[in-house]
Chains A and B, each alone.
Chain A
Amino acid sequence: MTVGTIGLERVRADFPILGRTVHGKPLAYLDNAATTQKPRQVLDAITSYYTGLNANVHRGVHELSERATEAYEGARERIRRYFNAGSAREIIYVRNATEGINLVAYAFARPRLKPGDEVLISAMEHHSNIVPWQLACEAAGAVLRVAPIDDRGELILEAFERLLTPRTRLVSITHMSNALGTVTPAAEIVRLAHARGIPVLLDASQAAYHMRLDVQALDCDFLVATGHKLYGPTGIGVLYGKAEHLEAMPPFMGGGDMIASVTFERSTWNVLPYKFEAGTPDIAGAIGLHAALDYIDAIGFEAIGAHERDLLDYGTRMLEAIDGVRIIGTARDKASILSFVIDGVHPHDIGTIVDREGVAIRTGHHCAQPVMERFGIPATARASLAMYNTREELDALGRALHRVREVFA
């Protein structure tokens, strides 16, 4: 029961929502892969922005606007440090990881794709890392290729390598599967692709709150992450891109802030990162995300990783001991996700019954229908862990699952 030197109890006390009850039972929040809860520090940062600093950014000469701009750009620098990017120019604010992927699909891939070219993804992608590529490929007459996974839910690296062809223009792959928990060998994927001159986008939506990510060490060309899974607010996400790519790309959306000059004949684009940030951004979201990253780093991934690994092992053993439960996703390198099915019980019924016990899990296809198809199941139940979870909450899930077995005996 540790989360580093701060301690699990104090960490939990920082998250106001964890104290509430659901259906008269203490909340056991095990749906973190969908979104994480927010610590008081994040909520306070947002409130104090709106109560003391609110103004538009990059516009006014007045005090508030300057201070708001400072805070907003300070958050960008904080994000740069979190992912160890070389420059804050390489950090683009987006709404979420989905928008980041769409930006790259639209402004990077589309202009480069020719008929017969290929984009390579994997069989464990979230819909957000499938559909933008389908749209881009369709527009260009290009082909979407899918690297297979094995029965454990691991990427088959040899098959992936064989799918890197002279026509491959981009690899876009998750660093951690939201449906299976598989952690992919991202650095190796990048190395294999780069050996053939192919750029790589990493979807770090899940990985970013479970492990330290270093975009320079990974050497990825793009990386996307989303604030609301990083214990931060919804509506703010991050696209990292190597400056050389971002410089060469056309804008994604037009509007205020992204221009250098506008006339009716012609407009010119602002410098990085502003070229990709049209309109008034989510200033409060950026400031909230700053506080969230401070919070994560104060605890540290060594402590978070050890705690989450303990919970994953504990939860895995608990599930394996329940009759009729089958875990989906048993990769050797795996983090924080327990996807499972129960013989004779549809996951939707599991979700409803455990909800009545105060246990929040996700049931369904997890926006990864091809993964469900791969395993021949319509859906799974998924418990997903974060730094504030406890063994007791997993026990509550275990009791709730016994209740499921009783109802469907």
Chain B
Amino acid sequence: MSDLSDLYQEVILDHNRRPRNFHALAGASHRADGYNPLCGDRLTLYLNVAGGVITDVAFEGACCAISKASASMMTDALKGKTVSEGEALFQRFHRMVTTPPDQPVEDMGKLSSLAGVREFPVRVKCASLAWHTFKAALSQEQKASTE
């Protein structure tokens, strides 16, 4: 059985306490709202994309620790990446959190701290919310949902 500390790792608690890039982005080129109807997490993601490069990312909202930390780390990870690099990162992250917990996953640096959600199946959606919202923002959909 997994321990709570696998889920609430120090780096996650830190990003929950002090979320990075936690603000609105005036004049953002892309934005989308994410909603997890199961627990009521809501976030808005802002992107500035120029010449195929994500020059700035920010988010705001009312979220649980897992989705807030995941969003915070994601904004750090995406800044400066090209759109296609960002999309590739989405794929890798998605693979990581949906791999069964008894199988190995690749090292994604800080983002790997979220691999612990695999032991807590209902929390996988919390970890994924920001990333789905990122995809929605890129495709200029209005809303992302984990349902």
Which of these, A345, A372, A407, contacts B4 with CB under 8 Å?
A407
- Give the chain B neighbours of A364 by CB distance below 8 A: 38-40
Do A378 and B41 touch across chains, with their CB atoms under 8 A apart? yes
Chain B CB within 8 A of A39 CB: no
| Known contacts A364-B38, A407-B13: A346-B64 contact under CB 8 Å | yes
Do A348 and B4 touch across chains, with their CB atoms under 8 A apart? no
Min distance, Cβ B62 to any Cβ of chain A, angstroms:
5
Do A349 and B41 touch across chains, with their CB atoms under 8 A apart? no
Which of these, B1, B62, B64, contacts A349 with CB under 8 Å?
B64
**Chain B: interface size category:** 20 to 34
Chain A CB within 8 A of B8 CB: yes
Do B41 and A348 touch across chains, with their CB atoms under 8 A apart? yes
Do B1 and A24 touch across chains, with their CB atoms under 8 A apart? yes
Chain B CB within 8 A of A363 CB: yes
A361-382 near B? 1/0 per residue, CB < 8 Å:
0011100000010000011000
Distance in angstroms between the alpha carbons of A346 and B69 in the assembled complex? 12
Shortest Cβ distance from A357 into B: residue: B4
Chain A CB within 8 A of B32 CB: no
Distance in angstroms between the alpha carbons of A378 and B126 in the assembled complex? 15
Chain A CB within 8 A of B66 CB: yes
| Known contacts A346-B65, A348-B64, A378-B62: A365-B4 contact under CB 8 Å | no
Shortest Cβ distance from B126 into A: residue: A348
Do A352 and B13 touch across chains, with their CB atoms under 8 A apart? no
Q: Which of B4, B13, B66 has the most C-beta atoms of chain A within 10 angstroms of its own C-beta?
A: B4
Chain A CB within 8 A of B63 CB: yes
Chain A CB within 8 A of B42 CB: yes
Which of these, A23, A363, A403, A408, contacts B65 with CB under 8 Å?
A408
Distance in angstroms between the alpha carbons of A348 and B68 in the assembled complex? 12
Do A349 and B40 touch across chains, with their CB atoms under 8 A apart? no
Distance in angstroms between the alpha carbons of A24 and B120 in the assembled complex? 16
- Give the chain B neighbours of A331 by CB distance below 8 A: none
- Give the chain A neighbours of B126 by CB distance below 8 A: 348
Number of residues in A with C-beta < 8 Å to the partner?
A: 19
- Give the chain A neighbours of B8 by CB distance below 8 A: 349, 353, 407
- Give the chain A neighbours of B63 by CB distance below 8 A: 346
Distance in angstroms between the alpha carbons of A379 and B40 in the assembled complex? 6
Distance in angstroms between the alpha carbons of A356 and B122 in the assembled complex? 13
Chain A CB within 8 A of B54 CB: no
Q: Which of B4, B40, B122, B123 has the most C-beta atoms of chain A within 10 angstroms of its own C-beta?
A: B40
Do B1 and A347 touch across chains, with their CB atoms under 8 A apart? no
Chain A CB within 8 A of B136 CB: no
Do B123 and A378 touch across chains, with their CB atoms under 8 A apart? no
For window 311-358 of A, CB contacts with B under 8 Å fall at 345-349, 352-353, 356
Do A356 and B13 touch across chains, with their CB atoms under 8 A apart? no
Min distance, Cβ A27 to any Cβ of chain B, angstroms:
15
Do B40 and A352 touch across chains, with their CB atoms under 8 A apart? no
Which of these, A23, A348, A356, contacts B39 with CB under 8 Å?
A348
Distance in angstroms between the alpha carbons of A408 and B17 in the assembled complex? 9
- Give the chain B neighbours of A365 by CB distance below 8 A: 40
- Give the chain A neighbours of B122 by CB distance below 8 A: 352
- Give the chain B neighbours of A23 by CB distance below 8 A: 1
Shortest Cβ distance from B65 into A: residue: A349
- Give the chain A neighbours of B38 by CB distance below 8 A: 364
Min distance, Cβ A132 to any Cβ of chain B, angstroms:
19
Distance in angstroms between the alpha carbons of A365 and B37 in the assembled complex? 9
Distance in angstroms between the alpha carbons of A379 and B8 in the assembled complex? 20
- Give the chain A neighbours of B62 by CB distance below 8 A: 346, 378
Chain A CB within 8 A of B7 CB: yes
- Give the chain A neighbours of B4 by CB distance below 8 A: 352-353, 356, 403, 407
Q: Which of A23, A24, A349, A408 has the most C-beta atoms of chain B within 10 angstroms of its own C-beta?
A: A349
- Give the chain B neighbours of A356 by CB distance below 8 A: 4
Min distance, Cβ B84 to any Cβ of chain A, angstroms:
33
B37-49 near A? 1/0 per residue, CB < 8 Å:
0111110000000
The 6 closest A-B pairs by CB, nearest first: A346-B64, A348-B64, A348-B39, A379-B40, A378-B40, A378-B62
| A/B interface sample: 20 pairs, CB < 8 A | A345-B65, A346-B39, A346-B62, A346-B63, A346-B65, A347-B40, A348-B40, A348-B41, A348-B126, A352-B4, A352-B120, A363-B39, A364-B38, A364-B39, A365-B40, A378-B42, A378-B62, A403-B4, A407-B4, A408-B16
Instruction: Name B residues whose Cβ lies closer than 8 Å to a Cβ of A.
Output: 1, 4, 7-8, 13, 16, 38-42, 62-66, 68, 120, 122-123, 126
Other A-B contacts than A364-B40, A408-B65, 16 sampled, CB-CB below 8 A, are A24-B1, A346-B39, A346-B64, A347-B39, A347-B40, A348-B40, A348-B41, A348-B64, A348-B123, A352-B4, A363-B39, A364-B38, A364-B39, A378-B42, A379-B39, A408-B16
